[in-house]
Structure 1
Amino acid sequence: MLNWLSRLFLRRHEVAPRRRPATASPVRVTHDDKTITVRDGAEVSTLAWADVASVTVLTTDLGPFEIDLFWVLSDRDNRSFLTIPMGADGEHALLQTMQVRLTGFDNMAVVEAMSSTGNGVFQIWPAAELV
């Protein structure tokens, strides 16, 4: 009589394939020893490591359902810059490289930015001449 109940609990559930969240970024960031490259569809932007003068994190109040954190890497004149949304493919590897490569990289400012739920600008790494 309770066979239906035992079958319900003993039934094997198929695991659904993991789907990419709707808010996942289509942006891909790669880097090597000389350059950082950001691809967003057909658009490709590059910045040489030697030209990186500032790393800033911009946050918005749009989370958690929209991307609400953006890395901005810019040159000394603010003429060339890269904008990388949180969740971009390769973002974590870039962060690890910046932590090693950019002396004085402010990890506490990164934590503060990641904790932000509002609109904000967090200076993560300026070049020594800009401080």
Structure 2
Amino acid sequence: MFDESKIIHSPLKGEDIEFHWADLSEVSIETTDQGPFVDDVFWVLAGGGRFCRISSNAEGMEELLEKLGELPEFDHQMAIVAMSVATNARFECWKKQGLVPVEA
């Protein structure tokens, strides 16, 4: 669920996770090798010290993807590539400009 100010993810287990659009700092896609009979594509949203992993089959995901695709410099090509992968991988589709990478 989302509106103009925030995204609220309600996982099957655990508490709701809320992101304000202004705090969102990264959008990526995780794929697994578990498909095609189970969901193997997950959208990972991060920001404000939190993250959530949302199934591509989650209710309202189509509308959320439209909104995410409006983020400045969202990498639509990377999203297309991710959707065609059947292995365990992660694809960065968007990162807020001006962020400094964290050293490991």
Query: Structure 2-normalised TM-score?
Result: 0.88
Q: Give the Cα separation in 1 of the matches to 2:38 and 2:98.
A: 35
Q: Report the counterpart of residue 56 of structure 1 in structure 2.
A: 28
Identical-pair percentage: 35
Matches within 5 A, 1:1-131: 30-41=1-12, 43-75=15-47, 79-100=49-70, 102-130=71-99
5+ residue gaps, structure 2: none
CA offset at residue 111 of structure 1? 0.3
Aligned to 1:4: none
- Structure 1 stretches of 4+ moved >3 Å: none
Q: Give the aligned residue type for 2:45.
A: L
Worse-superposed segment, 64-73 or 36-45:
36-45
Partners of 1:81 and 1:47 in 2: CA distance? 9
Query: Is contact 1:46–1:82 with CA below 8 Å preserved after alignment?
Result: no
* Per-residue CA distance 1:97-120 (angstroms, 9 max, x = gap): 1112x1000100000000001011
Task: Determine helix, strand or coil for the equivalent of 1:57.
Answer: strand
Q: What CA distance in whole angstroms lies between the structure 2 residues aligned with 1:38 and 1:56?
A: 16
Equivalent position SS for 2:18: strand
Deviations 1:78-127 (A, max 9, x none): x2112111110011100001112x10001000000000010111000011
Paired AA for residue 53 in structure 2: T
Give the alignment's TM-score, normalised by structure 1.
0.71
Letter in 2 for 1:97: K
Give 1:43 shift. Answer: 3.0
Amino acid at match of 1:85: S
Count matched residues.
99
Answer yes or no: is the 8 Å Cα contact 1:47–1:82 preserved in 2.
no
Q: CA deviation at 1:57?
A: 0.4
- Structure having the higher helix fraction is 1
Structure 1: gaps (5+ residues): 1-29
**Which of the pair has more CA radius of gyration?**
1
